[in-house]
Amino acid sequence: MMEKYLEVKTKQVEGEVAEKSRAGSGADEYSIKQCISVISTMVELTGEEKAEAFDVFKDAQNREIFMNADSPTRLIWIRKKCMQT
């Protein structure tokens, strides 16, 4: 009886660990470091605009939107966000 309980509990914990690992792996894709790396290549932005964008990247949803937008839209979006801060 105890063996069955331990087996079920082990599978449950393994599932939770795998789920957290999958959730955590996407975080690197939208990290602040990645966003800053991309924005540093955007020659259309001034240094001041780039610096203002750092505050925008504090929000995880903003980072995800920024990283998934196409280049022209990304430029418009980041300028709009910077004006709101």
Is pLDDT above 90 for 48? yes
pLDDT at residue number 29: 83
Domain count, the chain: 1
What percentage of the chain carries pLDDT values higher than 70?
78
pLDDT at residue number 21: 58
pLDDT at residue number 22: 60
Structure tokens at 20: 């957290």
Range of the domain at 37: 2-84
Q: What is the phi/psi pair of residue 63, to 5°?
A: -65, -40
Confidence class for position 12, pLDDT limits 50, 70, 90: confident
Structure tokens at 25: 């792996």
Segment 14-28, tens digit of pLDDT: 776 666 556 555 567
Is pLDDT above 80 for 59? yes
CA–CA distance, 73 with 66 (Å, rounded to integer): 9
Confidence class for position 3, pLDDT limits 50, 70, 90: confident
